[in-house]
Structure 1
Amino acid sequence: MNWAIKMMISIFLLGSLMVASSFGIGCPTGCECNDDTFVVKCEKSKLDVLPITLNPAVQRLVLRNNKIKTIDAAFQFYRDLQYVDLSNNHLVNIPSKSFLYQEKLQELHLNNNKLSAVNNGTFQGLKSLTVLNLRENFLLELPRGLFSILPKLEELNLGRNRISKIDALAFDGLLALRVLYLDDNQLTSVPTPAFSVMGSLAELHVGLNDFTFLPDDVFAGLGKLSVLDLSGAGLLNISDGAFNGMNGLRTLNLGDNKLKIVPTKQISVLSRLEDLAIGQNEFVVLGENSFKGLSNLRKLDVTGATHLQTIKKGAFNANLNIESIVLASNRELKTIEEGALVGLPNLRHLVLRENGFTSLSESMLSWGELRSLELTDNPIHCDCQMLWLGNLLAVKNLTVVQCASPLPLREKVLRTLSADELGCSFRDPRQQAILVTLFVSAIIILAVLGWLLFRYRQRVREAVKEYKWNKRAISRKEHEYQKTFSDDEYIMRAGQQHIKPIPVTEL
C-alpha cells in the first residue's frame, strides 16, 4: 500500500513538472535559472518547499536563506545535482533516503538550520559526496557508524552544535577524510578513541570546547595531521607527552586558553611546526628559549595576551628561520630587551600594533631589513631618542607612528618631525654616537699608554739615558767640526789681508 502511494506521488510530481515545463514557468519567482550552465540560485526567495519546476538537468542548486522546513520527494527529479546549498533555512529533520538518487552529489551544505539529529539513513545514496556541512545546528551526539556510507567524504563540518558525546566508531568508514571541524561544541574531553579510524586526517579543529587538560597521546592515530586548532578550548595545562607522534604538524593554534606559562617542553617535539598562535593566554613573560625545538618556525602570533609584560633576550634563539612575528594588542607589553630580536636573519614582517611601547631601541633589530612593520596605536614618546625611527620611516614608508607625548607633539606623525622639534642638540644622532665613540677611544688609548709607561718605566729611563749620552757624543763631534771650520775660515781671511798664515801642524 505504501509503495502504491509513493508511486502515485511520484507520478503526480512528474506530471506537474512536465506541465510546468510546457508552460515555460520552470524558474520560480525570485530565482535565477541558467539552462546553459545548469545553475539555479534562489536566495531570499521566501521558499518554504523545494521547487519542483526546475530543469531536471540542474547541477548546481543554491537555496540558502529561505524558509524550507524539510526535504521532500521533489529531490528525486534532480539526479544530476553536484552541489546543493540549503544553508540558513528552517530544516528540522531530513527523512531517511531523501538523497537516495543523488549519486553524483559532491557538496551538501546544511549549515545553520535546526537539525537535532541525523542517522545512518539520512545520507544514503551519497556515494560521491566529498563535502558535508552540518555547522550551526542542534546536534547532540554522534552515534556509531553515522557516516559509514560516505566513503569519499573529505571534509566534515560539525562545528557550532551541541555535541557532548561521540561514539568511538562514529567516524568509522571515513578513510578519505582530510578535514574535520568539531569546534564550539560541549565536549569535556578530546574524543581520542574516535580518531583511530581517521588515519588520513590532515586538519582538526576542536577549539571552543571545555577540555581544561590534554593528557599524553591525546591525538594518537593522527600521525598525518598538519593543522591543529585548539583555540578557546579552556586549556589550563598540557601534559608533556600530549603531542607525541605528531611529527608532521605544521600549524598549531593554542590561542585563547588559560595557560600561565608558554608550554615550551610540550611543543618542543613539533620539529616541523611552521605557524604557531599562542595569544590570549595568561603568561607574563616570553623567556629565553621559549620556543626551543621549533627550528622550522616561520610565523609566531602572540595577540591579545593581556598579562604579557616582557620579552627577554634570547626568547627566539632557537628560531633562526622565523619570518613573521606578530605581537599585537598586548597592552601591558612595554619591554623588549636589547638583543631579543637580534640574530634573526630571515625576519621580514614585524607587527607591534596596540601595545604599551613608549620607545624603541635602534639596536633592537635590523629595522632596515624589514619589508613590513606596523607600530600603530602605541603610546610613543617622541623625543630625540626616536629620531632614528622618524628618519627610517621617512625613507621606508612601513607604518604610521603618531606621538602620544609630549603634549605639544601629541597626535603628530613621527616621520614629519624635525630634529629640532624632537629636541635634539645635533641633527643626526649618529654624529653624537661618532663623537662619543671618538672621545671614549681617546680616553682608552691614553689610559693604555699611561699603563705601558708605568709598567715599563725602568726600560724607558734606560732608553732616555742612552739617548742623552748619544746626544752628548754628537755635540762633541759637532764642536770639533765647528773648530775646524773656524781655522779654515781664519786662513781664508788671512790670505785676503796679505798676512802670512801660520802653518797648522796636524796632530
Structure 2
Amino acid sequence: MKMMFYNVAACLLVIAVSNDRVLSCPSICYCSTDINGVNVNCGNRGLTVIPRNFTNDSYTISLSGNNLTFVKNDTFEHNINLKYLYLYNNQITTIQQGAFQNLLALQTLYLYNNQITTIQQGAFQNLLALQTLYLYNNQITTIQQGAFQNLLALQTLDLSGNNLTFVKNDTFEHNINLQHLYLYNNKITTIQQGTFQNLSGLLEISMSGNNLTFVKNDTFEHNINLKYLDLDLVCDCNVPFWSWVKSQSFYEDFVTCLDRDNVILSSLQESDFDNCTYKSCYPDYCSNGGSCSQNSYVDLVCSCVGGWTGTTCTGKWNIHRIERL
C-alpha cells in the first residue's frame, strides 16, 4: 500500500511540473510539451512587442507573422535551452547588440522576410551552437565588422535577396565551419580578395543575380571542398577566371558567362574574348605577369613576358616549332 502511495505521488508530481510548464506560457500564445521541452507558438497574433515570460524550458519559440519591429538585448535572457527561434515574416528593422547572447543552445535562427538594413557588430554574439542562420529577403546593405565572428559552428548562412553591393574580405573570416553560403539576388559588383579564404570546408556558394563584372582567378582557390558554384558574370575579358573554372571538378556549376550584348558564351575559347572593350585594366586581366595598357582605340592590350603570348598572355610559344624553322 505504501509503495502504491509513492507511485501515485510521483505521478502527481510529474503532472504538476508539466502543468507548471504550460501555465507559465504567455497568455497570448499556445504552449505544448514533449520530451524535448516546451514548444511556444506565438505566431500570427498581431504582436508588436515580444512577450517576456517564456518558460525556461522552452525548446522552440515561434514569433513569426507578427508586427515586431525590433529585438531588445535582454528579450531571451532566460531561455538557455532554446534550440529553434522563429522570427520571420515580421517588420524587424533592428537587432540590438546581445539580443540573443544567452541562447547558448540555439541551433537555428529564422529572420527572413523582415526589414533589417544593417547587421550590427554583436548582434549574434555568444551563439556558439548556431548552425543555421536565415537572413534572406531583408533590406541589408551593411554588414559591420565582426557581425558573424562568434558563429564558430555556423554551417548554413543565407543572405540572398538583400541590397548588398559588396562583401568585405573579413566578413566570414571566423566562420570556419561554413558549408553553404547564399548571396544570390543582391547588388554585389566586386568580390574583395580573401573574402572566402578561411572557408576551406565550404561546399556551396551561390552568387547568381548580382552585378559582378570581374572575378579574379584565385578568388576560390582556398575553397578546396567547393562542389557547387552558382555565378552570373559579365565576363567578356575574364579569361583567367574561366581557365580556373574549367580546371575544377565541380559536382555541379551554374557559372554563366555573358558578353557585352548579353549573349551567352557557350565555348570558353580565347578567341571569344578578342573584341572585349573594357574601359580600364582590371587586376589579373593579363595573365602570367603580363602588363595591361590601353591603345589609341581605348582597347585593353597586354604586354606579355616569359614566352607567353595571346590576347591576355595565356598562350605559349611553341619552342620546338621555332627550332625547326
TM-score normalised by the chain length of structure 1: 0.45
Tell me the residue number matched to 1:311.
none
Shift of 1:255: 5.5
* 1:235 is the counterpart of 2:239: no
Report SS of the residue matched to 2:75: helix
Mark the CA change 1:145 to 1:25 in structure 2 (over 3 Å): closer, same or farther: closer
**Structure (1/2) with the larger helix percentage:** 1
Alignment: residue pair count: 243
Q: Does residue 135 of the first structure (1) align with residue 133 of the second (2)? A: no
- Which residue number in structure 1 is paired with residue 217 of structure 2? 216
Q: How much is the aligned-residue C-alpha RMSD, in angstroms?
A: 2.5
Is 1:170 matched up with 2:171? yes
Query: The residue matched to 1:242 in structure 2 has which SS?
Result: helix
SS of residue in 1 equivalent to 2:210: coil
1:428 equivalent in structure 2? none
The CA distance in 1 between the partners of 2:200 and 2:179, in whole Å, is 9
The aligned residue for residue 292 of structure 1 is none
CA displacement at 1:219 relative to structure 2: 2.6
- Give the match for residue 66 of structure 2: 66
Question: Any conservation in 2 of the 1:44–1:66 contact (CA below 8 Å)?
Answer: yes
Amino acid at match of 1:35: T
> Could you tell me how far 1:199 is from its partner in structure 2?
1.4
Distance change >3 Å, CA 43–CA 256, structure 1 → 2: farther
* CA 259–96 in structure 1, closer or farther in 2 if over 3 Å, else same: same
Higher relative contact order (CA 8 A, sep 6+): 2
* 2:257–2:264 Cα contact (<8 Å) kept: no
**CA 1:165/1:239 → structure 2, altered by over 3 Å: closer, same or farther?**
closer
Q: Name the amino acid aligned to 2:265.
A: I
Which range is displaced more, 248-257 or 174-183? 248-257
2:89 corresponds in structure 1 to 88
Instruction: Say whether the 8 Å CA contact 1:84–1:108 is kept in structure 2.
Output: yes
Relative to structure 1, is the Cα distance of residues 249 and 28 closer, same or farther in structure 2, using a 3 angstrom cutoff?
farther
Q: Structure 1, unaligned stretches of length 5 or more? A: 1-20, 267-507
Q: Which residue of 2 aligns with 1:75?
A: 76
Please tell me whether the aligned partners of residues 110 and 135 of structure 1 are also in contact (alpha carbons under 8 angstroms).
yes
SS of the aligned residue for 1:253 comes to: strand
> In the alignment, what sits opposite 1:263?
267
- 1:215 Cα offset (Å): 4.4
Instruction: Tell me whether 103-112 or 72-81 shows the greater mean CA deviation.
Output: 72-81
**Contact 1:114/1:137 (<8 A) preserved:** yes
Report the residue type matching 2:109 in the other structure: L
Gaps of 5+ in 2: 1-19, 271-325
Pair member with larger Rg: 1
Cα deviation, 1:315-344, whole Å, max 9, x if unaligned, reads xxxxxxxxxxxxxxxxxxxxxxxxxxxxxx
- Alpha-carbon distance in 2 for matches of 1:240, 1:22: 63
CA shift in 2, pair 1:238/1:82, >3 Å: farther
Q: CA deviation at 1:59?
A: 0.8
List, as ranges, runs of 4+ consecutive aligned residues in structure 1 with deviation greater than 4 Å: none
Give the drift of 1:182. Answer: 1.1
Could you tell me how far apart the structure 2 residues matched to 1:259 and 1:113 are? 36
The one-letter code of the counterpart of 1:203 is E
Identity %: 24
Amino acid paired to 1:159: S
Distance 1:122 1:210 in 2: 28
What is residue 33 of structure 1 aligned with on the other side? 31
Structure with the largest fraction of strand: 2
Q: TM-score, normalised by structure 2?
A: 0.68
Structure 1 position 57, deviation (Å): 0.4
- 1:113 maps onto 2:114 in alignment: yes
Please name the residue that 2:286 is paired with: none
